Chains A and B, each alone.
Chain A
Amino acid sequence: MGILDAYEAVGIELIGANVLDEHVLPRMVYYVKEFLPEIFSDRTDNESLTSELKTFLEDLSSRVHKSQSSGAGAQFTMEEIWKLRAAIFGYESVFIDILGDTAIKDYVFIRMADILASYLPSSLVDPGIPLNEKLQAYVDYIRESGFVEYARVKIGKNEIVVAANKCEFAQIHDSEAYTNLNVRFCPWGMIASAIVAGHQGSETVLKSSIFTTRGSVSEIEPR
């Protein structure tokens, strides 16, 4: 949800206040239909689907904020998480089509990392905890949560590599809609870059994400 919020905020900053309605929602509908064909039937027109998707996102956001206020964790079904994952592609394709590579690498990734740092739990932003411990705690979390079966982090001199394998969402890497995108952002890599940005207090870029049929390898560059 943080990734969606961050995408929307960056989209507004760079494209304008109506980025969601005018540009993103139509694309979201396309990706949700591609990745979850069983949810939407051919008889449903795009306008209804757009409205339904917008309501879904607003409802999801409301549930997350309520759960944050109460301190209880929000529960989502896999179908909801898939819809969200597909919805995120709406933003990615808008940024690629409208903004282009330079803006993505020189603004979007850096800004996303900075915004996502606000969503991290206190243990991942505590300046007293070394970066390698924070990143290890993060990969342990995504593994234990069941989103991936295997995850590791490697901290090099000038870059950090986060790898995830047997990811729940990896099956979309094979889809035509996904392979048509020429710049792709792995959410696991994006969250890791937020941890690095929050720790180091400097620009951090998700340099690249390489995708396989089962997972991804993301390179993060602190500047």
Chain B
Amino acid sequence: MLKEVFVIEEGVLQYHYSEDQAADDNDQAVLSSGLLSAIRDFSAHARSDVLQSFSTENEYFLFTVCDASRRIIVGVFDRRAPQQVARESLERIKMIVQEANLPDETGEMISQERKLELRTKIERIATQLFGRDGLVKYIEEILSNRTDIPLAFLVDSNDKSVLAHFARPRQLYNESQVREFLLLHSTIQTTLTKLGLDMNYLSFTVQSSDYTVSSCRGGRLLSVASGAMRTQTRNVEAASFEMCYDSDSGQVLNVEQAKMVSKSIIFENGIIKYEKGEELPSIARIFLSTLINNIDSFFKAINKRKFSTFEVRTGRESPAVLVIRREEKSTGTMVEIYHF
């Protein structure tokens, strides 16, 4: 649904991406097109704080301005692309362009290598936010060569449909796992809100002594990867990130680097005992009890085990981690919140 991207500075085309890779490379064709003239004219009037747009019969064009430079980024979308998703994709492409340090308008060419890098990043965004075709093949490709991830699936968070799944043996996967996951996903968001944290979590992991399951959010994609017995947590996390076309797995924040701001124990009868730091809101016990039940149901559906540790990472702007941990010799479950 994302068809083309133009990066224009002072009327000069800096970079062009096209869904059709052959068109992508043929800058001469682009430069001579009347369409680009129109885009250049319109972009000259784009204001820095407003996203402008115009439409044709089959497409619509969104414009945005890079903050620190005079570059205009134009996204061309299929008419059917949801506008809100298109805006989100353009904002993310803007971030990539800003980080890419493109040459200024003095005439220096972007290297082929840099072009390819930009293309890969834009394609990832396009797939995360719009793509459906090719996902099954992509998941099969990245998982069939691995020996440590016997079960995984990918869900569209917009319509809750399963986009792809992988299981070795096949019988390991069943639809009840997806239902439990979607329930857990919803409960996590609600609980985070009640705890005053950002409900748009980035990823979570659930562990027992032998197994780890990791989930990642990338655009509209929700991935779940379950490791074979005693697979290292970071490998399972990396797989779930890769499934979402997310390259941030190397930046998963470690709880050891964070400051604990709240610690409580929740007992099976729902009573919360405050231990240190900030007290949890009184409504929290209802949602935390539900969350613990949902985590158990989800993990049992995947691995037939009770979980021992759950961690969810949230908040790109002000990162936080919620940890739920069962202690072996305790009747209660520890609830800890960390801030970075």
Contacts and interface: CB of A to CB of B under 8 A. Distances in A.
B228 A111 contact: yes
Interface string A182-223: 000000000000000110011100000000000000000000
A119 interface: yes
B172 A12 contact: no
A72 B150 CA distance: 27
Interface string B226-243: 001110000000000000
B169 A201 contact: no
B153 to A, nearest CB: 14
Contact of A5 (B171, B174, B303): B171
A22 B122 CA distance: 41
A197 B147 CA distance: 23
Contact of A9 (B169, B174, B230, B304): B169
A6 B169 contact: yes
B295 to A, nearest CB: 13
Given A17-B145, A111-B228, A118-B174, A12 B305 contact: no
A124 B162 CA distance: 27
A52 interface: no
Given A197-B304, A202-B305, A203-B210, A114 B168 contact: no
A198 B170 CA distance: 18
Interface string B304-317: 11100000000000
Given A115-B169, A201-B300, A16 B174 contact: no
Given A5-B170, A9-B168, A65-B170, A114 B304 contact: yes
Interface in A52-75: 65
Contacts, number: 52
Interface in B150-172: 150, 168-172
Interface string A80-122: 0000000000000000000000000001001100110111000
Contacts of B169: 2, 5-6, 8-9, 115, 118
Contacts of A203: 210
Contacts of A13: 147-148, 150, 228-229
Contact of B229 (A5, A6, A111, A198): A111
The size class of the interface chain B forms with chain A is 20 to 34
A6 B150 CA distance: 11
A168 to B, nearest CB: 24
> Interface centre among A13, A114, A119, by most B CB within 10 Å?
A13
Interface in B189-225: 210
Contacts of B210: 110, 203
Contact of A12 (B168, B171, B229, B306): B168
A117 B171 CA distance: 10
Nearest to B228: A13
A8 B169 CA distance: 8
Contacts of A114: 229, 303-304
Contacts of B145: 17
A169 B306 CA distance: 36
Contacts of B171: 2, 5, 115, 118-119
Given A9-B150, A197-B304, A202-B306, 19 more contacts: A5-B169, A8-B168, A8-B169, A9-B169, A12-B147, A13-B147, A13-B148, A13-B228, A17-B144, A65-B170, A107-B230, A110-B210, A110-B229, A114-B229, A114-B304, A198-B304, A201-B300, A201-B305, A201-B306
Interface of A: 2, 5-6, 8-9, 12-14, 16-17, 65, 107, 110-111, 114-115, 117-119, 197-198, 201-203
Closest 9 CB pairs of A and B: A5-B169, A13-B228, A118-B171, A111-B229, A9-B169, A12-B147, A9-B168, A118-B172, A117-B304
5 contacts: A13-B147, A13-B148, A14-B147, A118-B169, A201-B304
